[in-house]
Structures are given as structure tokens and as C-alpha cells.
Structure 1
């Protein structure tokens, strides 16, 4: 297992080392500027915690990386590709390499954990599938392995709408792993979870990042969780990067100043 990274990416590093590159990014919705002259580089295999108050631009930044939004100025490269210049087919291909974990989980409640995880592999199949046994055996084995990695193998046949929030998010992570992603974008993945479940989910993401060399860009409000799990912290405020530093050189008190509230949460 690799150790925690402590250095900030520099211009001297070769571009192939980056999972995400943003240079001079400006994004506005109408007259409202959401991101202003943002530079960000995420190494391959690095876990970056993206923090800042509500309205700072975190969710928009993640959606630019995934090609859901496009920039007015600047450039974005995701796994070496500019999402804005991709054809529709090219963008679909890029997104198969990019997992997206949402606060709302995005599971089909009436289906089992196993079938929800298998749905993560639908992009590799030619026809839609209905029921666990309609998937190839190799995918069923992989789905069970991924459920085991997140501690949910014993609940594989349980309907997702009967699982706790933390269990559902772990199933969602296992589903993302079915894509074989090189990059995972997580938008407040633990915002609706209790503290114990939040710590468990982030510990799983951190472990997977290190074991599989997957880059993770994860937006969070909880300062302590960001410091405990990220290799690096990038803080946004009013659409600008106001801090970019290795997590092991930061203190919780210093990071809380980004929020202006003294408590490290929305103000």
C-alpha cells in the first residue's frame, strides 16, 4: 500500500501523471460567476479533498471535470482528454472511466444490492439486463467481490430501500467500482450520513484509492474527515482557490477559517 502523498503537483511534473488538469477556468451562469481563474491538478492515484462553504463552486467544478458543464474560459483535461471537445460517443467513453458518487446514492430501491452493483457494468453490455442471472457469470463474480470490498457481501440480496444510508452509499461505491474507473468524483457523498457511517464510507474510498491507484476528487464540508482521509486539501471560496496544501501540514483550525464561521460547516 502506498503512503500518503505530501507534495503539491508542480508544472515540472509530466502531464501524463494527472487525472485532472484545470487551467484558468472561468464558469458563470448568467451574470453569476461560479468559478473564477481556477487552477487545479490532481495526480493519478491521489485523494484530493475539495472543501469550502455552500456556493463556493465545488459541485460545478466536479461537473466540469465530468463534462456535464463547459467552461467560458480556460481549459479542463480529464484523464488527458478535454470533455468539451469530445463527440457524444467520446464523452460516453470518457465517463466509463470516471465514477461519480452522489449524496443521493442514485440506487434503484426496489432492486437488490447485487443488481444495483451489476448496473455499473451496463455500459460494457450490448443489451439491457433484467435480474441478476441475466448478467454474465464473470460480472456476477466481480459484483460480489466489489460488494465484499465495501463490507456489503452479506446484504447482496437485500432490497436497497431497506438498507441504511451508510449501507446504500457503500453499495453505490461498489457499483462505481464495476466501471473499473481511473477517477472517482464524489459530491458530498457523506452529507446525509451519521458520523460513524461517514467515517466508514470515506475510509473505504481512501483504501480503494490507494489499493487500486484510483484518483479521488471528493467535495466535503466536514473538516476533520477531509484532513483524515485526503492526501491534499483544495479549498474554494467565492469561486476561487484560496488554499491548496498537503493535508498533513494543515490543522483543523486553520482549515475552518476558509468557512468564516469557526465551525467548519455551512454558515
Structure 2
């Protein structure tokens, strides 16, 4: 199932308000691969994902997503590219008062000309597909249940089914299990992994949990301080090596804090 790259970043740099967020990141993701993107908070994971679908544009380097350069796309072409890229967010983005089925159907709105009100206003073929995708995430029996009565893990599975209705060629997931308990987290990630394997869809999923990354991903890519510091197959990768990415970042933060304190102390002494 592993094929040609669907995503290629070449020496990508990005900053905000004078602060470098990504620094010379190069990364290829082939078709059908599940990639866990890990690293401490502020490492640049979310920024990288937003560069992939053109929500941000790079300051340097190039991004090619499904053969397109988002930075060079016209508005209509960028819209078409985004229709091929599914995005699963930490916050589920569901309409709580609507049923699970109608929330999934909303994933097709970009392809429909007229507004839709209620499940029966969608074409029958779409309704059938929506139920099939709910079945794939284990929620076909909850299709008429209001989303605000579902658990967090169930809501995220509805969000995954909604993404699948787009028939994406690439799925980006930005901390999709950060607000879920460990059991629900594993269910959601195993569903994404199974979909990636069965459909040949590449998945790039940012995570904080080392154990989940190693248990579900084909490949682990780690960012620290905006730089790519590890890129290896998950099989055989020791959890200790992955934890070092976080421990080094914490040690650097502690040293920076100590330096700030020393400088503040010297300034205080001079002021005194």
C-alpha cells in the first residue's frame, strides 16, 4: 500500500511575529502511510499541518500536497485541493443539536449547490454512504442520536466519518485524542490506522502520547524547537528515545528559565 509521496516538504520555514516556528523541515509522506507527528507543545506540529492544506503559507522552502503547491494555488484551486484533504481537529466541530447522521452528511456540503435542511434533504446516495461511514467507525446504530448526547470518543468518531464522506486522499489529524481518555483515544487511532491501511489513505496525526504513537503509527516523526529531530519506523523504536525529545525540550526550557532568573536577579541588584 505504500506508494509515491502525497506530501513533500522541502526545507520549509515559518515564523510568526519574529518567532521561528518551523526551521528547515523536509519530509516526504508516501501514499497509504500512517505518520505520527510528535513533539512538545510549541514544537510546530499544528503549524506544519496547516501548511499542508494552505491554511498557512511558508516563509521559505516549498510544500507540495497531492502534487499541488498550496502557496501557488488560486482561490478556487486551493478550495479544490482542500476538498481532497480531510482535517480532523481536537475540537470535534460538530453541531450538537443535530444527529450523528446529519453531522456526517455535512461533510458533503462543499460539493452541493443548495443549502440542506434535515437528513432527507440530502441525496439518497449520500445518505447511504454516510451510514456506511458511520458503520466503519462503529456508530451506525447511533446515527439518529443527537451528537451532544454522545461521549467525547463517539463524537470524534462521528467527525472521522464526516471526513471520510469527503473521500479524502490525505487525512490530517491535529491532536485528535488530546481531550479523550486512554481507551477512547486508542479506539479513535485504531480506526484511523485501519482506514489508512484499507483505503490506502495517508494519515499525518499529531500526538503528545508516546505510547499511542508507537502502538498505532507506521512511522514516527518528531519535532523539537521547529526542527525535525527524529524520523523512524515505529516498529522497533524504543519509547525511551521518543521521550528524550520531550525531556530535552523540558531541560532547555528549565535552563532558559534559570538564565532569565539570573538576569532578573542582576538587574534587581543594580536597581537596588
Q: Do these two structures clear the TM 0.5 threshold for a shared fold by scoring above it? A: yes
Please name the residue that 2:46 is paired with: 59
In structure 1, the partner of 2:175 is 188
Shift of 1:19: 1.1
What does residue 124 of structure 2 align with?
137
1-side partners of 2:121 and 2:249: how far apart?
Answer: 53
2:79 aligned counterpart, secondary structure:
helix
Are positions 1:228 and 2:215 aligned together? Answer: yes
Match of 1:8 in 2: none
Task: Tell me which of 13, 22, 33 is aligned to 1:26.
Answer: 13
Q: Are 2:137 and 1:150 aligned?
A: yes
Length-normalised TM-score, structure 1: 0.92
CA distance in structure 2 between the aligned counterparts of 1:262 and 1:95, rounded to whole angstroms: 33
Determine the structure 2 residue equivalent to 1:207.
Answer: 194
- Indicate the structure with greater helix content: 2
- Which runs of structure 1 show a deviation greater than 2 angstroms over 4 or more consecutive aligned residues? none
Residue 105 of structure 2 is aligned to residue 118 of structure 1? yes
Give the aligned partner of residue 99 of structure 1.
Answer: 86
| Cα deviation 1:26-83 (Å, max 9, x = unaligned) | 1000210000000011001110000000000000000000100001110000001000
Q: CA RMSD in A?
A: 1.6
What secondary structure sits across from 2:245 in the alignment? coil
Measured against aligned partners, the alpha-carbon deviations of 1:204-224 in whole angstroms (never above 9, x if no partner) come to 000000000000000000001
Length-normalised TM-score, structure 2: 0.90
CA distance in 2, matches of 1:152, 1:98: 23
| Corresponding position of 1:10 | none
The DSSP-based 3-state class of the residue aligned with 2:134 is: helix
Contact 1:100 1:185 in 2 (8 A): yes
Q: 2:36 aligns with which of 39, 45, 49?
A: 49
- How far has the Cα of 1:225 moved from its partner? 0.5
Give the whole-Å Cα distance in 1 for the aligned partners of 2:95 and 2:69: 31
Q: What SS does structure 1 have at the residue aligned with 2:120?
A: helix
**Rg bigger for which structure?**
2
Unaligned runs of 5+ in 1: 6-15
Cα separation, 1, equivalents of 2:186 and 2:213: 10
Task: Check whether the contact 1:45–1:209 (CA below 8 A) recurs between aligned residues.
Answer: yes
Q: Give 5+ residue unaligned stretches, structure 2.
A: 255-272
1:256/1:262 contact within 8 Å kept = no
SS in 2 for 1:40: strand
Q: State the distance in 1 between where 2:162 and 2:115 align.
A: 16
- Give the alignment of 1:150-189 within 5 angstroms: 150-189=137-176
| Correspondence for 1:242 among 226, 229, 233 | 229
Q: How many residues align?
A: 252
CA distance in 2 between counterparts of 1:199 and 1:184 reads: 17
- Tell me which of 58, 76, 83 is aligned to 1:71: 58
